[in-house]
Amino acid sequence: MKDVMGIVNVRIQDDIIRVLTDFRCIASVPFGGRYRLIDFILSSMTNSGVQKVAVFTLHKYRSLMDHLGTGKSWDLNRKEDGLYILPPNVFYYSQTSYPGDIRSFYSQMDFFEHSKQKDVIISPGNLVCNLDLREAIAFHRKSGADVTVFYREDAEYEPDFPWKRKLKVSRNNRVLELEEEPGTLEGNKVLVEIFIMSKLFLLETIENSILNGAGDLFQDVILKDRDKLNIYAYPVRGYFAAINSIKRFYRANMDLLNPAIRQNLFFQPGPIYTKVKDEPSTKYATGSNVFNSLLANGCLVEGTVENSILFRGVKVKKGAFIKDSIIMQKSEIEEDARVEYAILDKEVTVSRGKEIIGRENGPVVIGKRKKL
């Protein structure tokens, strides 16, 4: 897999998951007690032997840069290849609307040209999954496809598939039909936004697109030219979520309370890596009352925690009550406060006696460093 380059294409998705993306891009949204969304696809890539990963960012990527650092946590701090964070050239993006991912790629043509890898695998930064991409690459190469698209059989949640495109495949998984308009095709195979293609194909596509004004790799190339291209489809197995809404974010976090999902997502086929931090053990005081919950290190629990996920360094004071909630790093729930169906971003303080209560289908979201 030395000859495969990973590309994580971090799009602007501020509107779909507000508050949590006020100060960070979607790929660096915290998830599952100690992770960031990008950890999943990045670990999938490196566990599969990918040794060069380019992360295309657009804005609000300071926290992403801090998180990724030199890529050491993913063993990507390499002398050759390794991790590249590719921010936009500010002058290319002075227009108010995003000109499409092809222009991002175009601004880094020399980067691609200097890379030795043969194939590229392109993914967004908001997928929660743990994939063995070696098999997918082998499938792509064997099939001789121009593009291999990923798909999900039995798509469970609609929000995981923002393009809502179904597809129909032959016995050997060649794509026979790909919906131009959502809702026109029968079946249960839905497109996932991961593609494999040769670097050569990508470069030619970029050059042509710049000439004829195409902006979006999926919309303006793969979908538009679907009849001219030799497209194959590869199934995504195991746990899968694409974080495209607060609801989906909430539900995917809560899914982790299921031991089977957790074992699968965090360890199979390889471990999910993230940036480690210096936090002591979590301490449970006498009288604490915790069940069906995930807690990262460095928490101090004196109160009650049920069906919840606590990130690193959260304090739950005496008499505080947390239920069905996601509490991010270093937040503090003071004495006798009550938090239910809520998502608290980092360093939120809920004062003594205060109540924060959302609904199961609409968890309340509290922004970073708020004091309530």
Partner 1 sequence: MGTTKEWIAMLLAGGEGKRLGFLTSEMAKPALPFGGKYRIIDFALSNCTNSGIDTVGVLTQYQPLILNAHIGIGIPWDLDRKHGGVSILAPFLKYGEEGKWYRGTANAIYQNICFIDKYDPHYVLVLSGDHIYKMDYSLMLKFHKEKQADLTIAVIEVPWNEASRFGIMHTDSEGRITEFQEKPAHPQGNLASMGVYIFGTEILKQYLQADNERAGSGNDFGKDVIPLMLDEGCRIFAYPFQGYWKDVGTIESLWEANLDLLSSENGLDLFDRNWRIYTVNQNQPPHFIAPGAKIENSLANEGCEIFGEVSNSVLFTGVHIGEGTVIKDSVIMTNVRIGRNARIERAIIDENAIIGDECLICSERKDPPEIILVRENMILPENSVIRTTSP
Binding site for a second copy (CB under 8 A): 58-62, 65, 69-70, 79, 85-91, 93-96, 278
How far is CA 108 from its chain centroid? 23
69 binds, among a second copy, partner 1, none (CB under 5 to 8 A by kind): a second copy
88 binds, among partner 1, a second copy, none (CB under 5 to 8 A by kind): a second copy
Which DSSP letter does residue 135 get? H
DSSP per residue, 232-250: EEEE--SS-EE--SHHHHH
Instruction: Report yes or no: 236 and 155 within 8 Å, Cβ to Cβ.
Output: no
Task: Scan for tokens 């009650």, then name that residue.
Answer: 304
CB 74, min distance to a second copy, A: 15
Could you report how far apart the first and last alpha carbons of the chain are, in Å? 50
> CA nearest 326: which of 261, 246, 238?
246
When the beta carbons of 240 and 273 are compared against partner 1, the nearer one is 273
Q: Measured between alpha carbons, how far is 234 from 175 in angstroms, rounded to an integer? A: 10
When the beta carbons of 90 and 260 are compared against a second copy, the nearer one is 90
56 binds, among partner 1, a second copy, none (CB under 5 to 8 A by kind): none
CB 70, min distance to a second copy, A: 6
Q: Measured between alpha carbons, how far is 313 from 299 in angstroms, rounded to an integer? A: 4
CB 306, min distance to a second copy, A: 33
Compute, in degrees rounded to 10, the torsion defined by CA atoms 320, 324, 328, 334: -10
CB 142, min distance to partner 1, A: 21
Interface ranges with partner 1 (CB under 8 A): 32-34, 47, 73, 75, 77-80, 132, 256-257, 259, 262, 266, 269-274, 276-298, 300, 305, 309-311
264 binds, among a second copy, partner 1, none (CB under 5 to 8 A by kind): none
70 binds, among a second copy, partner 1, none (CB under 5 to 8 A by kind): a second copy
When the beta carbons of 96 and 212 are compared against a second copy, the nearer one is 96
Q: Measured between alpha carbons, how far is 175 from 171 in angstroms, rounded to an integer? A: 10
Q: Measured between alpha carbons, how far is 208 from 27 in angstroms, rounded to an integer? A: 29
When the beta carbons of 81 and 216 are compared against partner 1, the nearer one is 81
Sign of the dihedral through C-alpha 22, 297, 322, 333 = negative
Give the C-alpha distances (Å, rounded to integers) separating 238 from 114, 130, 272: 35, 7, 14
Instruction: Report yes or no: 200 and 120 within 8 Å, Cβ to Cβ.
Output: no
321 binds, among a second copy, partner 1, none (CB under 5 to 8 A by kind): none
Give the C-alpha distances (Å, rounded to integers) separating 243 from 126, 127, 182, 250: 5, 6, 20, 9
CB 112, min distance to partner 1, A: 19
CB 246, min distance to a second copy, A: 22
CB 284, min distance to partner 1, A: 5
Q: Which two tokens stand for residue 363?
A: 């968890």
Instruction: Report yes or no: 366 and 22 within 8 Å, Cβ to Cβ.
Output: no
281 binds, among a second copy, partner 1, none (CB under 5 to 8 A by kind): partner 1
When the beta carbons of 80 and 154 are compared against a second copy, the nearer one is 80
When the beta carbons of 61 and 112 are compared against a second copy, the nearer one is 61
When the beta carbons of 77 and 208 are compared against a second copy, the nearer one is 77
